[in-house]
Structure 1
Amino acid sequence: MTDPVSRRAVSLAVLAAGAVVLAPAGAQAMQTALDQHRHDWDWLAGSWNVQHHRLNSRLTGETQWTDFRGTCAMVPTLNGFGNMDDNWLDLPAGAYRAMGIRAFNPETRQWSIWWFDERSQTIDPPVRGGFENGVGTFTGEDTLRGQPIIVRFRWTDIATPHPHWEQAFSPDGGATWEVNWRMEFSRA
């Protein structure tokens, strides 16, 4: 014979198991779809060498680019629904560190990305978006020299040994884009 506390524990366990089995199929499918986003950035986890190619001046008609090296080390956070990376950028004018911070919003089903640069000690406004067919596209509003712009981050080749990131600015609400920074990643 079992004591009342043990019977109650068994009853609660059976009820909990039944609740999982009796959960609506739609809710379970929705949770499965949400859980897939937990792995959106798995390909970026770890340490990388980065080759940077940056336009010298943005939205000025500039055509000269500067190439430099850097590193990136990304760690997942928030049980896969967030991550952050520590970046070292070895610009010819002087090296600096920066940090990318990403978090997933389950309500909007979008990732937000913030960039923190040690030179200015500020966090840029976020870009938001997600992945479709192996391409990540993230956009957001910002200003450049006091003028409103749209910023776009785009990740491509994420299933290859050399993922590619680029940044573009649009001064005209997304009608035209100027790519001003490209990065090619390779495992460190």
Structure 2
Amino acid sequence: MSSPHDFDFFFGGWDVRNRRLADFLDPESGWQEFTATHRCWSLFDGAANIDEIDCSSQGFKGLTLRLFDRETEDWSLNWSSSRTGKLFPPVIGRFTDGRGEFYGDDTHDGKDVRVRFVWSGISERTARWEQAFSVDGEKTWVTNWVMEFTRRPTDS
């Protein structure tokens, strides 16, 4: 069962290793790798949080606002990039047995895409996030961005 404390593990500072496809819809486009730093803050006694990831080597920062809906017990994850300043459509979902799955609809390069975020590998010191797109109604997915989080030593 999902709860307002599902993301409590994420509060504080992290170092991030990113792997991202050069073209989010082409699995053969090759992976780009870069590091980032990340910090997450709790709001609404855990039922909301906001984070910022600093990808300075790539020239942008990202922000996520997560909100827990107490009626449905679902989370909405809302992403924005400093490159655009626009809020992307949310992905919505929940945690089950330590794994979070969140789905939504968006467009990429003019194509309608189904978006999936997966949170896994969660411990005191590590977490994994991945993004995948589907253009065929969820028959197939292209995993196009993976972030491996490691707790910063000063945030133990």
Q: TM-score, normalised by structure 1?
A: 0.77
Distance 2:35 2:129 in 1: 14
Q: How big is the alpha-carbon RMSD for the aligned residues of Structure 1 and Structure 2?
A: 1.4
Distance 2:37 2:119 in 1: 17
Greater strand proportion: 2
Matched, 1:130 2:98: no
Match of 1:115 in 2: 79
- How far the C-alpha of 1:160 sits from its partner, in A, is 5.2
Match of 1:29 in 2: none
Please say if residues 9 and 124 of structure 2, whose CA atoms lie closer than 8 Å, have aligned partners that are also in contact.
Answer: no
Match of 1:46 in 2: 12
Match of 2:61 among 97, 114, 120: 97
Greater relative contact order: 1 or 2 (C-alpha under 8 angstroms, separation 6 or more)? Answer: 2
Query: Between Structure 1 and Structure 2, whose CA radius of gyration is higher?
Result: 1
- How far the C-alpha of 1:162 sits from its partner, in A, is 1.8
Matched, 1:176 2:140: yes
Matched, 1:37 2:6: no
Q: What percentage of aligned pairs have identical amino acids? A: 38
Residue identity in the other structure for 1:129:
G
Match of 1:153 in 2: 117
Query: Following TM superposition, where does structure 1 have runs of at least 4 consecutive aligned residues deviating by more than 2 angstroms?
Result: 60-63
- Aligned partner of residue 62 in structure 1, secondary structure: coil
- How far the C-alpha of 1:62 sits from its partner, in A, is 2.8
Distance 1:170 1:47 in 2: 31
- Aligned partner of residue 37 in structure 1, secondary structure: coil
Match of 2:39 among 69, 73, 76: 73
Distance 1:170 1:187 in 2: 31
Greater helix proportion: 1
Please say if residues 68 and 90 of structure 1, whose CA atoms lie closer than 8 Å, have aligned partners that are also in contact.
Answer: no
- Aligned partner of residue 107 in structure 2, secondary structure: strand
Match of 1:16 in 2: none
Distance 1:73 1:115 in 2: 15
